[in-house]
Chains A and B, each alone.
Chain A
Amino acid sequence: MTATPLLEIRNVETYYGKIQALKGVTMEVKAGEIVTLIGANGAGKSTLMMTICGDPRAAAGQIIFDGQDITKLQTHEITRMRIAQSPEGRRIFPRMTVYENLIMGATTSDPAYFDEDLSRAFELFPRLKERRDQRGGTLSGGEQQMLAIARALMARPRLLLLDEPSLGLAPLVVKQIFEAIKELNDKDGLTVFLVEQNAYHALKLADRGYVMVNGNITMSGTGKELLASEEVRAAYLEGGAH
């Protein structure tokens, strides 16, 4: 683990029209870390994920990736810096096959790596291999989530953004997905920024975590510290732990 932050977010504010969704967010993700962001529904977690990718654009503050200011870049340019996102709602292309969705994921990466990356994706999620030629829109929720993560990985990201990968999934599938994230982090040193409502699992997995309330970061600490914190337990864990 190196000390330089791979992603630095400084006082970022984001608006939807007149509504302010982020009210000056500051946080960082270091290379090789798994960092999680937890918070209630509507806190602004997905907005932060999307603001990192430039859509919506930050109205104030700075987003710095690997020492470069990316605040004003266009979304497709930010992706080219090798930031990949598995967004809220999965956003699988419904009328493309699993295979085509994965090709789309590889848009910005060198074609020379395609076969290697594809077999790695199928190794990670064998289910997708079975469904290779099935249309994305006909997959189950869990399969779509796997596809969304696999598609993001096809970009060979340096930073992987995952927005609620466990939403609406059966506990067994959640476990499988969290194991996959852990494995990618351990083996390949992949840096992961994870948004979760499933706070217990996320904090157990993560090196560090942040808590967001109403567009502000209210707490931060290691996964263990946050898991032990009374406030976090009361607000996000009671009844939520499986």
Chain B
Amino acid sequence: MEYFLQQLINGITLGSIYGLIAIGYTMVYGIIGMINFAHGDIFMVSSFIALIVITALGLTVSTGLGLTILALILVLVTAMVIASVFGWTTERMAYRPLRGSFRLAPLITAIGISIVLQNYIQITQGARVKPLQPLIEGGYTLMTRVDANGEFAVRLSNMQILIIAITVILMIVFSLMIAKTSLGRAQRACEQDRKMASLLGINVDRTISMTFVMGAALAAVAGLMFLLYYGVIDFFIGFVAGVKAFTAAVLGGIGSLPGAMLGGLVIGLIETFWSAYFSIEYKDVAAFSMLAIVLIFLPQGLLGKPEVEKV
């Protein structure tokens, strides 16, 4: 029971990170009907930017709490801004020029951007993993069990609280933005009928750009969280996390915002529980098998829109 609870906490934390990345996939897919294959690498680049800024600021665990929080906000803003530029550029270079072309063309250019980003980071930052000493320590012991095997404590770390809280807040802010603001309405309009949206005066190109930018900014939040939580990053994390988050987006129903979050949680939980109870080597197989099973029975994903509604 205690062990289960601990895995649940860990799974939700991991799932939050996947969910934030998955939103970028799902939003871009919603509006242009294509996967942004460079998205995972924008996440990876963001975590490197975060690491560089943290190092430059000389942040360590002995920095006072107030100062740490201020500094992390600065780190986050920097990472989000730079990631947004990468997201915007990806759309301009890989997608927009090929919008009238055959369907696979932009996917190939996006994979090209993905390879460029990975190789660029590999060359400039090195191929080996980069460590970061923990900045936020401490936490709460929720319960302790003592038995013949010794003591087992269920821990909820401050870092986990931070990740889950930020994710929940961002989800609420984002859902409200999509539902209530004119940008959100423009995005939904472009998603449902791009030509009609432009007939009503929506600048479709700019709306698509903004969607890439928003997805990239969320990936940057995830990139900073990943860095702080795991403490090691390398040039390849974007591929691994990207594939998982993409799986999460498809599992939840590609194009659906709550679906992306739910998919992220499911993938995070499956991965964590599988590693805890079965074998850690097969955790990815478990996650992808889940995807296959869901898609057989629910081709639209868990919360996807049924096809009939598309007019």
Contact = CB atoms under 8 A, between A and B. Distances in A.
Interface of A: 53, 55, 74-76, 79-80, 85, 87, 91-96, 100, 103-105, 107-108, 137, 151, 155
A95 B192 CA distance: 8
B198 A55 contact: yes
Contact of A79 (B182, B186, B201): B201
Interface residues of B, number: 21
Query: Is chain A's binding surface mostly helix, strand, loop or mixed?
Result: loop
Given A104-B189, A137-B311, A95 B305 contact: yes
B311 A155 contact: no
Contacts of A155: 200-201
B155 interface: no
B185 A75 contact: no
Interface string B175-218: 00000001001101100110111111111100000000000000
- Determine which residue in A85, A107, A151 has the highest number of CB atoms from chain B within 10 A of its CB, and name it: A107
B309 interface: yes
B201 A80 contact: yes
A91 B200 CA distance: 11
Contacts of A75: 198-199
Given A93-B192, A95-B188, A107 B311 contact: no
Interface of B: 182, 185-186, 188-189, 192-193, 195-204, 305, 309-311
Contacts of A94: 192, 309-311
Contacts of B309: 94-95, 137
B204 A104 contact: no
A39 B84 CA distance: 50
Contact of A108 (B185, B192, B193, B200): B200
Contacts, number: 63
A104 B185 contact: yes
A40 B185 CA distance: 37
A74 B205 CA distance: 11
B199 A87 contact: yes
A100 B185 contact: yes
Interface of B is mostly: helix
A79 B199 contact: yes
A184 to B, nearest CB: 19
A76 B198 contact: yes
Given A95-B305, A95-B309, A137-B309, A107 B192 contact: no
B193 A55 contact: no
Given A96-B189, A103-B185, A76 B202 contact: yes
Contacts of A53: 199
Given A87-B196, A137-B309, A137-B311, A93 B202 contact: no
Contacts of A137: 309, 311
Given A74-B198, A91-B199, A104-B189, 10 more contacts: A76-B202, A95-B188, A95-B309, A105-B200, A107-B182, A107-B200, A107-B201, A108-B200, A108-B201, A137-B311
Contact of B189 (A55, A80, A85, A93): A93
Contacts of A76: 198, 201-204
17 contacts: A75-B199, A76-B198, A76-B202, A76-B204, A79-B200, A79-B201, A87-B196, A91-B196, A94-B192, A94-B309, A95-B192, A100-B185, A103-B185, A104-B189, A104-B200, A107-B201, A137-B309
A110 to B, nearest CB: 13
A75 to B, nearest CB: 4
B57 to A, nearest CB: 43
A155 B199 CA distance: 11
A227 B271 CA distance: 73
- Which 7 pairs between the two chains have the least Cβ-Cβ distance? A108-B201, A79-B201, A75-B198, A91-B196, A107-B201, A94-B311, A93-B192
A208 to B, nearest CB: 25
A87 B204 CA distance: 18
A142 to B, nearest CB: 16
A87 B193 CA distance: 12
Contacts of B193: 91, 93
